[in-house]
Each structure stands twice: as C-alpha cells, then as structure tokens.
Amino acid sequence: MSALGAVFRRDLRLAWAGGGGAAMPLAFLAGATTLLPFALGSERDVLEPLGAPLVWITLALAVLTSLERLFRADVEDGTLDQLLMAPVPLEAIAAAKGAALWVANGLPLAAAGGLLALMLQVPPAAAVLVGLSLAIGAMAFIGFGLVGAAVAAGVSRGGLLVALIVLPFYAPPVIFGAATAQAMAMGEPFVGPLALLAGISLGAAALGPIAAAAALRVQAD
Amino acid sequence: MFATHRRVILDTALADPAPAASTDSEAPRLEVTGLAVMRGEFVVFAGLSFTTQAGEVIALTGPNGSGKTTLLRALAGLARPAAGAVHWHHPGARPDTEGAFMHFLGHRDQIKPALTARAHLVFAASIAGDRAPPDPAALLQAVGIGRLADIPTSVMSAGQRRRLGLARLMAAPRPVWLLDEPTAALDTRGRALVADLLERHRRAGGLAICATHEDLGIGGVRRVELPERAP
C-alpha cells in the first residue's frame, strides 16, 4: 500500500508544484463561466434554469484540459518504466493517479463551480448542492479521462486524441449531472438523477483504471 | 486480466513466495534464447542467445542502432519479445514486478524537474516495495550531489542527474542492475564512482549488464557484442 500512497502523494505534489499545472483548468472554468452572462444576458429567468447545467458542461471541459499530460509526462521522463516494473498492479497505480487528480484538481474545480453557480443566479443553498454534484461528476470525468490519457500517452500533442476518445463517454454524466444540478437550482426533487450520476461515477472510477492500465502496457513496447 | 501481458518468461520452477526485496543474497542467472525484438515493422535483432552467471559484469556493445537499449528493455520486461525468451533464474523473479529484483537505469532518467533529489530517492524505494532509505542525504553525498538534496532537480546538470540515478542503485539492494550508458555525461570522478559501484556489486554476487560504448574502468568485464543491423 505504501507504493500506492507514494504515487498518490507525488502526483498531488506535482499537480501544484512548478507553476501549478492544476491552476490552468481552474482559470478555464472561472473564465468561461464569467463570460456566459455576457452571451446569455443576466436576467434571472434566463440564468436560473441554465446556470447550473452550464457550470457542469464547463467543468467537464476543464477536467479535459488536465488529462493530456497525466501519463504523457511519465512516458517522456521514463517514470512509466518505473511504474510498470513496480511490484504493484498497474491498475492500482492508475487508480492512485486518478485519485490524486480528483483531489488536486477535481475538488478545487467543484468548489469553484459551486461559487460560480452563485454568480449565475443559483440560490446559495442550492449552490452548495451543485458543488457536491460537481465533485461526484468530476470523479466520472476523471475515471473516463484516465482511459483517454493512457491511450494518448505515447503521442506527443495527444490533446485532440484525448478529447476524441473521452468526450463520447462524457455524455452520460453530463446528461444526469446537468439534470441533477438544474433540479437543485430550481428546488425540485433531484434524488433520481443524482443516484444515476453517482452510479456512473462509481462505474467510471472502478473501470477506468483497468482500461487505462491495459492501454499503458501496450505503450511500453 | 493481469497475466495477459506476460512479457518476460520466468522460471516458475525456481520461484519462491518470499518477498523479493530480501533475497538479494541469492545469485541471479540470466538465460536468453533465440531472442528477437521488433519495433514496429523493424527487426531490431534476432536469434540472440547468451547466458550470464552471478558475479559478472557484462558490457553490451555494438554500433548505434544495433539494439542495446532495446535489449535492456526486453531484459527488464518492458519490451515484448517477438520470438525467443528471457529467463531470469532468481527466487524474486515475477512477471510485471521486475523492479522488485532489478534496477533499471535507462536513458530516460525518471526525474521530475519540480521535485527534490531526496524525494526521488524516497519515491524510487517506495514504488519498488522498499522502505524509504534511512539517510537519503548521505547517499546523495556519496555520489557528490549532497548540496542539491533539497532543491528542485530542475537545476541539475546532465551529469548530476546521472549521479542521482547512481544513488538509486545504492538506496536499495537489487541483485540485477541493467544500466544504459552508465558513464554518459559523467566526469572522471563520476566514472570512477561507476567503476567502484560495479566492482562492489560484482563482489557481492550481483549481476550487472551495461550497454556502453566506453571502457567501464574495471577488469574482467565480459563483452556481449550485438551485430550491426542487417539492411
């Protein structure tokens, strides 16, 4: 277990070290969300139903921007060799890296998303709930994202490849996540779509690392 | 699911459930038979056979492009043989866990510029299933980069990065060392350090295989020559 702890702690440190790579998705989320009222107008009856779903879509895209370097950096500096030779299953290492990305990147994004929802006319109590739904959703985006990041690990400038692989998988969590967030913002019952969203997130968190490890083993040759 | 990608065939008859990290006193033996490795459409080398005993230092020589690095990767289980087999006879040998009984220093030096040299030594030990080295600073001192222990490795020169790799060799005992150009970028004292490490490793019954174009600075090195690639 200490090997997995080492991977987790190292990725946490790397996410915010040296200029803070994790700050970029946050800036993207804040920037894109701030521009939305300029496009849609700031009237309450327009923004109230749309604000929370729009934060959801922006968060999905913000997570996407953090995926390209996730395994690519380890391929370039040889760390992937170290991970492949380790006496720990590669599936567990991929899961540890995904968990670190969720803590370093997903949780700050979800917190920022909740705050930004306030700006889009979501009532304060609902904004807290929206932030929680974003944290659950980030788990799905990172779980599916691991697969795309692993497939593109051997490709320099693999960002496009990551997006092409990952975006179709982002449809289900966006559908149920946006529905959850909208129901929260409008004060309607949201347990149904939230349960489906949580199911998708847990599935992605469980299966993503397995698929990612298989893709990484092929890259090693 | 985990066993579908068994890249190195291991002698399971000799396998023992004891943790590999503690078996460094066991003598490792390598048997390569009819090995061929392809990269994409190219055959890098084919029909390669040799055996090694414990207590040997092997210099893997051959012209550029003859496949020295590829062979080391195949021995480390990182490149899949197209034909033939790599047999490690060692109680700690397991597929996909080679790091538990060997050190592999490739030309990609496994260094993150944002982290300190000390953090690299601790991580390398943890990921290979060892306790963190009790005194990383002393190890870094021994390879001549003690001053740089606690600042980001981005300030290091190529030779200093090599020395950090050498510190990893000392941080945890492993019976097998696979070294790709161990003397590259090193000054005279750095080369002497490599020679000293290899000599001590050999005397302790370890096996070292070094891809190199240069003299390793110790006597009694066996050469394995890779032929020029057929056009």
For B150-170, the pLDDT digits (tens) are 999 999 999 999 999 999 998
Is the pLDDT score of B92 beyond 80? Answer: no
A6 against B99, higher pLDDT: A6
ipTM for this model: 0.87
SS3 call for B174: coil
Closest CA to A52 of A103, A145, A127: A127
| pLDDT the model gives residue B171 | 87
Residues of A in contact with B114 (CB under 8 A): 13-14, 17-18
- Interchain pair B126, A221: CB under 8 A: no
Is the pLDDT score of A100 beyond 50? Answer: yes
Place of tokens 């397991």: B94
Is the pLDDT score of B17 beyond 70? Answer: no
Residues of A in contact with B23 (CB under 8 A): none
For A15-27, the pLDDT digits (tens) are 888 666 788 999 9
Closest CA to A119 of A37, A181, A53, A23: A37
| pLDDT the model gives residue A147 | 96
Range A65-83 average pLDDT: 91
Estimate the crossing angle of helix B158-171 against helix B117-127, to 10 degrees. 40
**Could you give the CA distance from residue A178 to residue A141 in angstroms, rounded to a whole number?**
13
Contact A201, A102 (CB under 8 A): no
Q: Is B5 part of the contact surface with chain A (CB cutoff 8 Å)?
A: yes
| pLDDT the model gives residue A113 | 96
The count of other CB atoms within 10 Å of the CB of residue A219 is 17
Q: Per-residue confidence at A118, pLDDT binned at 50, 70, 90? A: very high
The count of other CB atoms within 10 Å of the CB of residue A12 is 17
Residues of B in contact with A17 (CB under 8 A): 114-115, 152
| pLDDT the model gives residue A207 | 97
- Residue of A87, A91, A217 lying closest to B20 (CB–CB): A87
**If you measure CA to CA, which chain A residue comes closest to B112?**
A77
**Could you give the CA distance from residue B194 to residue B139 in angstroms, rounded to a whole number?**
14
| pLDDT the model gives residue A129 | 95
Tell me the residues of chain A between 166 and 205 that have a Cβ less than 8 Å away from chain B. none
For A32-67, the pLDDT digits (tens) are 999 998 998 888 888 888 999 999 999 999 999 999
- State percent of chain A over pLDDT 90: 77
Give the lowest-confidence range in A18-32, B68-82, B108-122. A18-32
For A156-214, the pLDDT digits (tens) are 888 899 999 999 999 999 999 999 999 999 999 999 999 999 999 999 999 999 999 99
Q: Is A206 part of the contact surface with chain B (CB cutoff 8 Å)?
A: no
Range B62-72 average pLDDT: 91
**Could you give the CA distance from residue B26 to residue B203 in angstroms, rounded to a whole number?**
13
Upper half-sphere CA count for residue A174 (Cβ side, 13 Å): 16
Contact A197, A174 (CB under 8 A): no
Tell me the residues of chain B between 15 and 54 that have a Cβ less than 8 Å away from chain A. 20, 39
Is the pLDDT score of B15 beyond 80? Answer: no
**Could you give the CA distance from residue B91 to residue B17 in angstroms, rounded to a whole number?**
8
**Could you give the CA distance from residue B189 to residue B208 in angstroms, rounded to a whole number?**
20
| pLDDT the model gives residue A162 | 94
Give the lowest-confidence range in A67-71, A127-131, A135-139. A67-71
- State percent of chain B over pLDDT 70: 87
Is the pLDDT score of A117 beyond 90? Answer: yes
Is the pLDDT score of B4 beyond 60? Answer: no
Contact A137, A102 (CB under 8 A): no
Residues of A in contact with B122 (CB under 8 A): 6
- Interchain pair B78, A14: CB under 8 A: no
The DSSP secondary structure of B120-173, one letter per residue, reads HHHHHHHHTT-PPPS-HHHHHHHTT-GGGTTSBGGG--HHHHHHHHHHHHHHS-
| pLDDT the model gives residue B230 | 59
| pLDDT the model gives residue A20 | 61
Residues of A in contact with B100 (CB under 8 A): 86-87
- Interchain pair B78, A5: CB under 8 A: no
Give the lowest-confidence range in A5-19, A179-193, B61-75, B85-99. B85-99
Q: Is B100 part of the contact surface with chain A (CB cutoff 8 Å)?
A: yes
Contact A143, A211 (CB under 8 A): no
Among left, alpha and beta (phi > 0; psi -120 to 50; other), residue B101 is alpha
Taken in order B187, B193, B199, B202, the sign of the CA dihedral is: negative
Query: What does pLDDT average to over chain A?
Result: 92
Contact B128, B122 (CB under 8 A): no
- State percent of chain A over pLDDT 70: 98
| pLDDT the model gives residue B11 | 39
**Could you give the CA distance from residue B73 to residue B105 in angstroms, rounded to a whole number?**
10
Q: A195 CB contacts (<8 Å, ≥6 apart)? A: none
**Could you give the CA distance from residue A9 to residue A21 in angstroms, rounded to a whole number?**
16
| pLDDT the model gives residue B54 | 84
Query: What does pLDDT average to over chain B?
Result: 84
| pLDDT the model gives residue B16 | 36
Q: Per-residue confidence at A1, pLDDT binned at 50, 70, 90? A: very low
Gap from A15 CA to chain B (nearest CA, Å): 10
Residue of B126, B156, B169 to mutate, testing the A interface (most A Cβ within 10 Å of its Cβ) = B126
The pair of three-digit structure tokens given for residue A148, joined into one six-digit string: 């795309």
Is the pLDDT score of B2 beyond 80? Answer: no
Contact A137, A176 (CB under 8 A): no
Give the lowest-confidence range in B2-6, B27-31, B126-130. B2-6
For B176-198, the pLDDT digits (tens) are 999 999 999 899 999 999 999 99
